[in-house]
Structure 1
Amino acid sequence: MTDLRSGVRDDFAEVFGREPDGVWSAPGRVNLIGEHTDYNLGFVLPFAINRRTVAALGLREDRRVRVGSTFADELVELDLDALGPDALGGWSAYPLGVAWALGQFGADLEAVPGFDLLIDSNVPVGAGLSSSAAIESAVALALNDVWRLGFDRQTLAKVGQRAENVAVGAPTGIMDQSASLLGEADSAVFLDCRSLDAQVVPLGLEQAGLEIVIIDTGVTHAHATGGYADRRASCEAGAKALGVESLRDVSVADLDRAREVLDDVTFRRVRHVVTEDQRVLDTVRTLREHGPAAIGELLDASHVSMRDDFEISVPELDLAVETAQANGAIGARMTGGGFGGSAIALVPTDAVSRVQVAIDGAFAEHSFGQPDVFTVRASQGAQRES
């Protein structure tokens, strides 16, 4: 983290010819369980990870905004008065969308100065680890500080979601930003996506001799296009047909009636969300009563539901999960929005190397691309670094 922080400060000075006012960081996230439940106003259980985005920012004396990053050659410039979803595109829509969205939540953008911003990150892009929310959360925290807005972190999570939904055009829920802003070390964030009540749930992984292994399949996904939006539309159609505000209001006991009302595809989409909500509640209870070694079957069942009912897995994800399970993992599932990205496996520390070697071999045997297999720790949420 020290290298990332000092590196972005040095790069800022090289690009903009001056020192930044500060450096802020925010983590990516892994969703332990609770996939596609957030925009259905259900429950999720993500945790912040020790892969972070850093943002060096300096205020200007005019209304100009300049945004750059270490992963894109272009320097995007515009005036604050021109800031709006129609004026944004590409990677810069994430940080600039946050600046715009702050105005949607009450910040007086006519009364604040422009800024220079440089971003760096070691959160893999397109891997289902929410690199986008890490950008949004770091920038939101930075602008909240330097513009002296006084927003709390729950509001900043809403700001990040608004930026992603409107400025970027990705119909995501609020889970990712909440995890990035509210996370704590060795803990998950149990979030009620309707009330936005959040509870920190200790994971106790080190004490239990367990680690979270990430298998980045290298199959990238984009939430602003394709199947993610289709799945959300199916959920909304299912809720409407069942006469409820959202699928949060449908219980497992209601599924027999839902089967009679809905077509097969919509029913299976609904069944995933309803049973996934229950799995989140069961996982939180199990962690509190029995510890992390007891949640493996819930992780496994979540993957089956995403593979068969929600149909958002891909062969690479299925292979990663099956190989991890066969080589010592207590439980495994794909994580993130699906159609690519990463799987997670809960693995005893002494089995991590075996899982890594087995996955590398399995992917080579199936002529898939080389996966990136690494461990992550539950980490602190967004913070000012300097």
Structure 2
Amino acid sequence: MIGELIKKFQEIFQTTENVRCFFAPGRVNLIGEHTDYNGGHVFPCALSIGTYAVVHKRNDQKVRMYSANFEDKGVIEYKLDELVFEEEHDWANYPKGVISTFVKNGYELRNGFDVLFYGNIPNGAGLSSSASIELATAVLVNQLEELDIDMVEMVKMSQQAENEFIGVSCGIMDQFAIGMGKEDKAILLNCQTLDYTYSPLQLENAVLVIANTNKRRGLADSKYNERRSECDQALADLKSNYELESLGDLTKAQFEQLKHLIKNPTNQKRAKHAVYENERTKEAVVKLNNGDLQGFGLLMNESHRSLRDDYGVTGKELDALVEAAWVQEGVIGSRMTGAGFGGCTISIVKENKVDSFISEVSAAYTKATGLQANFYVVEVGEGARELALETV
């Protein structure tokens, strides 16, 4: 595939000069949902699908970008002294935002570049294609300009780009998982301190299956901001009588003692999810490390129920997929993953039951919603990096 992308690059930019190739994966979160901005823990892994970037350094200040996923948009061009958000630049605002954030943080960029992006992450699936293109850009700018920035710093700048340049108040999980991912490992990340540990993903003849609801996620952004604000209000109520930094500081027992301080009943449910999900995530990792995959799966199921009943972010499509998964033979655990209101579910399924799982869940889902789901058996891959071209 890289060979084809290089040919396409040469065609679009009319050059035969040498190029370099970079890759940043997508990510999926196994457990720990809507905990990242609440100062809790998440447990994501990087995937083997993601965003490819074929790039050639220029001798001037011009940047030209082309996406093989959005060919109708053509080549998008600007200069390094014109790093502003422009509606008509569409998808290119994500990489442009990263370049702008590098400059804002004091890194001098001497040269522009021509770049072709191609992503094989299913569009709108909630596997973080935006953070993937951000990290692909960060890694390529770091290497082209020989800036020697460490990965955690690039992760932070990519999040900053999405928060400030794009205007989406995401937590750091997506960028961190994509930048720091390791093959066959998941990352337990404390989103408040950025302390992290790797856990081997030993799935015992089972695989990860992602199912995409194919529902347009129109509500996700507005509801995401609404949930953040509900949690912020709950935290403010707690802080008026109790000293804490974030909801992630509380144990379940502490929350039960203090929840009466949260005046609004809805906000109380939102906070309950944040606290319980954080504890559940830490417990799930212990189970995985002890080889208790069944116990891990049960906690995934609990996570979905909490997201449905307390956090209110599932919706009928995600519920239909998960509930159909729960009754299938060979399913160890299943839950929604991502922001919610559409997007994807993640299931751990015994390898010899994958075909029946896909056909049964697919039929049940279509019957319940009238929509067709897509299924992807995914592998856990490495984080953002430059690819060696000798193999092309």
TM interval, shorter chain, is: over 0.9
Counterpart residue number, 1:121? 119
What residue identity is the alignment partner of 1:9? I
Cα distance change on mapping 1:223 and 1:131 into 2, 3 Å: farther
1:201 & 1:325 partners in 2: Cα distance?
25
Choose which of 339, 349, 352 in structure 2 pairs with 1:350. 352
1:150 & 1:81 partners in 2: Cα distance?
22
Equivalences for residues 211-226 of structure 1 within 5 A: 211-221=207-217, 225-226=221-222
State yes or no: 1:228 paired with 2:229. no
Determine helix, strand or coil for the equivalent of 2:38.
coil
CA-atom RMSD in angstroms: 1.7
2:111 & 2:218 partners in 1: Cα distance?
33
Counterpart residue number, 2:333? 331
1:384 & 1:78 partners in 2: Cα distance?
24
Determine helix, strand or coil for the equivalent of 2:81.
helix
What residue identity is the alignment partner of 1:130? S
Determine helix, strand or coil for the equivalent of 2:154.
helix
What residue identity is the alignment partner of 1:284? V
Equivalences for residues 267-282 of structure 1 within 5 A: 267-282=268-283
Does the 8 A contact of 2:86 with 2:93 survive in 1? no
Which region of structure 1 is more displaced relative to structure 2, 38-47 or 254-263?
A: 254-263
Counterpart residue number, 1:259? 259
Counterpart residue number, 2:76? 76
1:182 & 1:233 partners in 2: Cα distance?
29
Counterpart residue number, 1:306? 307
Determine helix, strand or coil for the equivalent of 2:290.
helix
Determine helix, strand or coil for the equivalent of 2:303.
helix
2:76 & 2:155 partners in 1: Cα distance?
24
1:138 & 1:269 partners in 2: Cα distance?
34
Any stretches of 5+ residues in structure 2 without a counterpart? none
Does the 8 A contact of 2:52 with 2:118 survive in 1? yes
2:206 & 2:236 partners in 1: Cα distance?
42
Cα distance change on mapping 1:247 and 1:222 into 2, 3 Å: farther
2:192 & 2:55 partners in 1: Cα distance?
33
Cα distance change on mapping 1:247 and 1:86 into 2, 3 Å: farther
1:190 positional shift: 1.2
Cα distance change on mapping 1:158 and 1:239 into 2, 3 Å: same
Count, aligned residues = 379
Counterpart residue number, 2:12? 15
2:238 & 2:261 partners in 1: Cα distance?
7
Provide the TM-score with structure 1 as the length reference: 0.94
Determine helix, strand or coil for the equivalent of 2:197.
strand
1:378 & 1:168 partners in 2: Cα distance?
28
Provide the TM-score with structure 2 as the length reference: 0.93
State yes or no: 1:102 paired with 2:141. no
Does the 8 A contact of 2:220 with 2:341 survive in 1? no
Counterpart residue number, 1:55? 53
What residue identity is the alignment partner of 1:92? A
1:224 positional shift: 8.1
Which region of structure 1 is more displaced relative to structure 2, 305-314 or 68-77?
A: 68-77
Counterpart residue number, 2:343? 341
Which region of structure 1 is more displaced relative to structure 2, 85-94 or 10-19?
A: 85-94
Does the 8 A contact of 2:366 with 2:373 survive in 1? no
Counterpart residue number, 1:245? 245
2:360 & 2:104 partners in 1: Cα distance?
49
Does the 8 A contact of 2:76 with 2:89 survive in 1? no
Determine helix, strand or coil for the equivalent of 2:103.
helix
Counterpart residue number, 1:141? 139
Counterpart residue number, 1:369? 371
Counterpart residue number, 1:35? 33
1:365 positional shift: 1.5
2:338 & 2:249 partners in 1: Cα distance?
23
Does the 8 A contact of 2:185 with 2:380 survive in 1? yes
1:87 positional shift: 7.6
What residue identity is the alignment partner of 1:15? I
Does the 8 A contact of 2:63 with 2:77 survive in 1? yes
1:314 positional shift: 1.5
Q: Determine what percentage of the aligned residue pairs are the same residue.
A: 36
Deviations 1:71-130 (Å, cap 9, x if unpaired)? 222222111111134688521111111111112333124xx1111111001001211111
1:234 & 1:122 partners in 2: Cα distance?
35
2:139 & 2:374 partners in 1: Cα distance?
30
What residue identity is the alignment partner of 1:139? T
2:276 & 2:194 partners in 1: Cα distance?
20
1:76 & 1:273 partners in 2: Cα distance?
41
Does the 8 A contact of 1:29 with 1:130 survive in 2? yes
What residue identity is the alignment partner of 2:251? S
1:20 & 1:307 partners in 2: Cα distance?
51
